Amino acid sequence: MPSPMQRRRFLGALGLAGSAGALQWPASGFTPVPVRAAEGPDRAGPGSVVLSAVSSVMSMDPALSVDTETERVCRQVFETLVGIDGETGATAPLLATDWEVSRDGLTYTFTLREDVVFHDGSDLTAEVVVANFQRWGRMNELLGSGAPARTTLAFESVFGGFFDDDECLLESVEAAAEFTVELVLSEPLVFLPQALAMPAFGIASAEVLSADDPELLSRRPRGTGAYRMLSLSADEAVLVAFQDYWDGKPPAERVAVRTLPRSFDRLRELQRGEIDVYDYITADNLRSLVQSGRLILQRDPFSVLYLGFNLDHPVMGDLDVREAAARAISLTSLVESYFLEGSRPAYQFTPAALGVDSEQATRYSYNVEEARELLAETGYDGEPLRFYYPMNATRSYFPRPEAVFASIARDLTAVGFNITPRPVSWDDGYVDALLDDEDRAMHLLGRNGGYRSPHSFFGPLFSHRTPEFNYDSAQVRGLIRDARSEEEEQSRNDIYREIADLVAEDLPALPLVHPISGVALGRGVADYPISPVLHELFKDITPTD
């Protein structure tokens, strides 16, 4: 494995070493980066579609996308090497027409699609793809040493670290020919093609990959996607069809993604005809939608809502306290009261569709008396415990956050916990706020699976010590590394089951629900490309006009 110094020389040889500026992590509260507008219609008209979003786009730099609404818009502007088949969910060609893997699993050779142009008119070549990988591999340097606490970025999660980290598995990335890219790994990554379909690996034009101006990409989002960015604000992102798109002009000429955090507002605007797609239906609005004859499409459960614990907190660091909290919460009542039919209580972090549920993993069944006894035995004497939860934050894993918090807080209080609510609006920097509060005890958050591998859940949450849980298990980290290189499926699944056992035993977080999410269509849309991993391309929307 190359040393950090060798890795820095490798990056310098590729032309991106040294940066005059520091990239700003998406800040608390929406401060839109000025986007240089694309040419296109600035008014809605025939062939226009309006979708609802539940929060603002935080950055048009796909490498920084860590929330579903940002990923949703980035996915339309930037395309990845690998796509996802809308019917089967399997990997499919996109910017790469095909790829080959060496017998030892260490070398991936991607053949690029020819005659693809970026929104600025420049050509897609292997050199451009290499430049994108260079940038992703050193995002930690671009963010700067003063960057706030953050969640794990996609490159770090997939490859085990950034280029200056000894644990990074990406040894080299080279342009073997004009349209051939070669990735060389130090260890096999069996899920690599699936992971490269995540929007964080969207390919941007070389013209906006400036080391001297790291935010240029966010200000000028230039990809190869079917849509270009026309305008971006806290209230709305507007996209227009890219006339030179390699796969033909999309049916919808203009797509607006309108920020409507409250479910009632999304329902009202759908009924008024102001939006065409109401996403993240909530259970309390379902009857109105059915009665009005709306077409409703549901996604298979591929996300998890969880209760996170801060293991550095003097109270929550006690496993018995965490177990008392786990046994105090009625998951069945939670699911039946606030989630769409088909949602299920979560006893492990991975959804059933991945087939790695462990029968041995501890299940913390609802038991009020046992929870009270456990808590009493710990010596907890009623210290206030800060509990963070988001407001105005509907997500695939979180349809009604305020109501869900109230239900969980009520259960915890009933067994003796003294809860101090800490509500923070999602767009006011909810994740930053909870990560920055070292004295927090608990928080609510979730994760949507970005690709069909258990690593999509276990990797970002538990492969590194993160400020979210302050959980660091060398055994869990080692097993995650073992699983990512295990080629035999049964053996790999057995490793993931062992990870599930250990995480359930250590209890850094309590999985709560594997939810169903869905969309309702208005009269302006005949069909919408639903996907459990949210790989939903606007070019596949079918307008009615």
Contacts of residue 54, defined as CB under 8 A and 6 or more positions apart, other chains included, come to: 69, 259, 260, 261, 266, 279, 280, 392, 393, 394, 395, 426
Number of independent structural domains in the chain: 2
For the record, the structure tokens of 442 come out as 């608990």
3-state secondary structure of 239: strand
Express each pLDDT in 339-375 by its tens digit. Answer: 999 999 999 999 999 999 999 999 999 999 999 999 9
Residue 41 within a domain:
no
**Cβ pair 371, 328 in contact under 8 A:** yes
Question: pLDDT grade, residue 8 (50/70/90)?
Answer: very low
Q: Are residues 167 and 54 in the same domain?
A: yes
Q: Minimal CA–CA distance to 383: which of 285, 289, 467, 316? A: 316
Of residues 495 and 22, more confidently modeled:
495
Residue 275 within a domain:
no
The helix or strand, by DSSP H or E, that contains position 9, with its residue range, turns out to be: helix 4-13
CATH classification at residue 430: 3.10.105.10
Q: Minimal CA–CA distance to 217: which of 29, 77, 113, 357? A: 77
**Res 31: pLDDT:** 44
Which residue's structure tokens are 């869905």? 518
Question: Judging by beta carbons within 10 Å of its beta carbon (0-12, 13-18, 19+), is residue 403 exposed, middle or buried?
Answer: middle
Residue 247 within a domain:
yes
**Res 15: pLDDT:** 35
Question: Is a pLDDT exceeding 80 seen at residue 2?
Answer: no
Model confidence, pTM: 0.86
Q: Are residues 522 and 508 in the same domain?
A: no
**Res 19: pLDDT:** 39
Q: Are residues 498 and 532 in the same domain?
A: no
What gap in Å lies between CA 362 and CA 3, rounded to an integer? 40
Q: Minimal CA–CA distance to 189: which of 140, 154, 239? A: 154
**Cβ pair 23, 144 in contact under 8 A:** yes
Range of the domain at 201: 4-22+46-259+518-543
Q: Are residues 201 and 308 in the same domain?
A: no
What gap in Å lies between CA 487 and CA 494, rounded to an integer? 12
**Cβ pair 511, 331 in contact under 8 A:** no
What gap in Å lies between CA 405 and CA 514, rounded to an integer? 16
What gap in Å lies between CA 405 and CA 408, rounded to an integer? 5
Q: Are residues 106 and 223 in the same domain?
A: yes
CATH classification at residue 239: 3.40.190.10
Q: Are residues 238 and 312 in the same domain?
A: no
Q: Are residues 507 and 531 in the same domain?
A: no
Other beta carbons within 10 angstroms of residue 29's beta carbon come to: 13
What gap in Å lies between CA 211 and CA 135, rounded to an integer? 8
CA angle at 303 for the pair 428 and 451, rounded to the nearest 5°: 105
Q: Are residues 329 and 252 in the same domain?
A: no
Q: Minimal CA–CA distance to 396: which of 262, 294, 329, 300? A: 300
**Ranges 1-15, 142-156, 173-187: which has the least confidence:** 1-15
Contacts of residue 484, defined as CB under 8 A and 6 or more positions apart, other chains included, come to: 160, 187, 188, 189, 190, 191, 455, 459
Give the mean pLDDT of 495-508.
97
**Ranges 72-86, 182-196, 385-399, 484-498: which has the least confidence:** 385-399
Residue 268 within a domain:
no
Contacts of residue 260, defined as CB under 8 A and 6 or more positions apart, other chains included, come to: 52, 53, 54, 266, 269, 275
Express each pLDDT in 228-238 by its tens digit. Answer: 999 999 999 99
Question: Is a pLDDT exceeding 60 seen at residue 34?
Answer: no
Q: Are residues 137 and 200 in the same domain?
A: yes
3-state secondary structure of 286: helix
Express each pLDDT in 135-157 by its tens digit. Answer: 999 998 888 755 555 667 899 99
Q: Are residues 208 and 314 in the same domain?
A: no
For the record, the structure tokens of 445 come out as 């958050």
**Ranges 36-40, 171-175, 217-221: which has the least confidence:** 36-40
Question: Is a pLDDT exceeding 50 seen at residue 20?
Answer: no
Residue 38 within a domain:
no
Residue 267 within a domain:
no
Express each pLDDT in 245-262 by its tens digit. Answer: 999 999 999 999 999 988
Q: Are residues 388 and 250 in the same domain?
A: no
Other beta carbons within 10 angstroms of residue 327's beta carbon come to: 23
Residue 182 within a domain:
yes
Give the mean pLDDT of 9-27.
43
Residue 184 within a domain:
yes
Q: Are residues 312 and 387 in the same domain?
A: yes
